Amino acid sequence: MVFPFSSITDFSIKLDEEHELFRKAVREFVESKVMPRWQEIERENRIPEDIIEAMKEQGFFGVGIPEEYGGQGGGQLTTAILVEEVSRAVPALGVTLGVNHLFVVPILLFGSEEQKKRYVTPIAQGEARGAHANTEPTGGSDVAGIQTRARRVNDHYVITGRKVFISGAGDADYLVVSARTSPPREDKRWWGISVFIVEKGYPGLKIGQQFKVMGMRGEQPYEVILDEVKVPAENLVGPENEGFKVIVTTYDHTRIGIAAQAVGIAQAAFEKALNYALQRETFGQLLIQHQMIIQKLADMYMRLEAARLLTYWAASLADQGKKEFIVAASLAKAFATEAAEWIARQAIQIHGGYGVDVETGVERYLRDAIITTIYEGTNEIQRLTIVRQLVRQAFGLKI
Ligand SMILES: Cc1cc2nc3c(=O)[nH]c(=O)nc-3n(C[C@H](O)[C@H](O)[C@H](O)COP(=O)(O)OP(=O)(O)OC[C@H]3O[C@@H](n4cnc5c(N)ncnc54)[C@H](O)[C@@H]3O)c2cc1C
């Protein structure tokens, strides 16, 4: 036993030639269609519609979604490669892809066959966009503490509440929404939450203010208001009152995508710093000849590759259906996002004054990386999950 894993084979990463061909194709697309537009996206704070259309044509919205629901198939590793490559150019595009996954994953894991056909297929084919509305003004980490209410009335539910920081809500045709359907049980605080699919056109659903957050320009989150929104009973995802499991199991899967966003950001920041160090001269020497700069670059590179390995490993375990992927996903998310933040900070330092000049496009990596440490479970929450999963895996204990 390789504590707490059962065998060293659990550490294998199942990458093959198809993954590499796919990565090359995505990189080619991103370098020609997205990279030249990063300044426009930062300035306008919006992803241009023609980029979204081009991504649809490439089939990117169907990656990771089974072929039977209109997707390209491909699993978590392929999805991680896609998200890493787009995030290397414009991390907000990783969010655009990620919010669709936050919508389809709970339906793929817990939804009915009818829900999958009706809601997943249009997303996979790029005909519709999704969003995921869980966080509320009173808290995001504590999913059991949500205050949005849903009451059953005959053949439908009526939902009332307010959600904040909902990425992609402004463009979404459908949203998954969490709400409390019953009071918590004394021994199970999480019990009594349910998850619903809400369509854009349902009366009472309003997309409120757009938040102005420090990074991920192009994909700023929204407020979502639900005022007595009538939702058909068949839009309940998974069993009534068991929605907490739907939400947290979704994040177990989707947080690998956040780790991949971070790897893309870290890769971009590292490449920029390395190139600059090879060109800039100080005191009659290239930057890369100064030992202190060499040390920074070596440490950046170490963390970058460790982050990538953890991310591919978590994705690979998930694709193999191994339950150990949960702890791996949290390790990858926390490590990769903190590595990206640190690498982005070093990249700024290596660029000196130009590092903090907005036009050089280096400081944006730090703004984007910090956000990855917060959403889809803050890194404090990842640390809780890591130790809880470790103890459960190794000793079968619940703490
Ligand atoms: C740009 C952006 C996009 C987002 N997109 C979405 C989205 O699409 N859908 C969605 O539902 N949400 C979204 N969120 C919300 C995000 O998931 C939450 O902000 C996050 O989960 C943290 O919740 P909170 O902000 O309420 O912080 P809190 O939960 O109030 O936490 C505050 C601080 O306390 C720490 N903390 C909390 N509990 C504990 C504990 N038990 N032990 C130790 N420390 C703890 C946290 O780590 C954090 O540092 C987005 C957020 C941002 C910034």
pLDDT 10s digits, 39-54: 999 999 999 999 999 9
**1 confidence band (pLDDT: 50, 70, 90):** low
Percentage of the chain surpassing pLDDT 90?
94
Residue type, position 325, single letter: F
Domain 8-129 part of CATH 3.40.50.300 = no
| Distance of alpha carbon 202 from alpha carbon 204, whole angstroms | 6
Would you say the CB of residue 141 lies under 6 angstroms from ligand 1? yes
| Every domain of the chain and the residues it spans | 8-129, 131-241, 245-395
Distance 315 CA to ligand 1 centre (A): 23
Check whether 309 has a pLDDT greater than 80.
yes
pLDDT 10s digits, 172-221: 999 999 999 999 998 999 999 999 999 999 999 999 999 999 999 999 99
- pLDDT recorded at residue 394: 84
Would you say the CB of residue 213 lies under 6 angstroms from ligand 1? yes
pLDDT 10s digits, 358-375: 999 999 999 999 999 999
- pLDDT recorded at residue 216: 98
What integer best gives the mean pLDDT of the chain? Answer: 97
The arithmetic mean of pLDDT across residues 240-248, rounded, is 98
Take atom 48 of ligand 1 and give the residue whose Cα is closest.
Answer: 378
Distance 340 CA to ligand 1 centre (A): 19
Residues with Cβ < 8 Å from 242, sequence gap 6 or more? Answer: 191, 193, 194
| Distance of alpha carbon 247 from alpha carbon 15, whole angstroms | 29
| Distance of alpha carbon 114 from alpha carbon 318, whole angstroms | 25
CATH class of 245-395: mainly alpha
Residue 141 alpha carbon, nearest atom of ligand 1: 29
Residue 68 appears among annotated catalytic residues: no
Residue 132 alpha carbon, nearest atom of ligand 1: 9
Q: What are phi and psi of 139, to 5 degrees?
A: 155, 145
| Distance of alpha carbon 82 from alpha carbon 77, whole angstroms | 9
| Distance of alpha carbon 199 from alpha carbon 230, whole angstroms | 10
CATH topology of domain 131-241: Butyryl-CoA Dehydrogenase, subunit A; domain 2 (2.40.110)
| Distance of alpha carbon 191 from alpha carbon 180, whole angstroms | 9
pLDDT 10s digits, 149-170: 999 999 999 999 999 999 999 9
The arithmetic mean of pLDDT across residues 65-89, rounded, is 97
**139 confidence band (pLDDT: 50, 70, 90):** confident
Calculate the alpha carbon distances from 310 to 86, 313, 378 in Å.
19, 5, 18
**13 confidence band (pLDDT: 50, 70, 90):** very high
Check whether 328 has a pLDDT greater than 90.
yes
Would you say the CB of residue 135 lies under 6 angstroms from ligand 1? yes
- pLDDT recorded at residue 5: 84
Nearest CA-CA partner of 370 in 338, 346, 329, 336: 338
Of these residues, 271, 341, 376, 380, which one is catalytic? Answer: 376
Distance 388 CA to ligand 1 centre (A): 19
- pLDDT recorded at residue 2: 79
Q: Provide the sign of the torsion angle of the four alpha carbons 314, 82, 44, 35, taken in this order.
A: positive
Check whether 4 has a pLDDT greater than 90.
no
- pLDDT recorded at residue 137: 97
Take atom 11 of ligand 1 and give the residue whose Cα is closest.
Answer: 134
- pLDDT recorded at residue 399: 87
The arithmetic mean of pLDDT across residues 259-283, rounded, is 98
Distance 79 CA to ligand 1 centre (A): 24
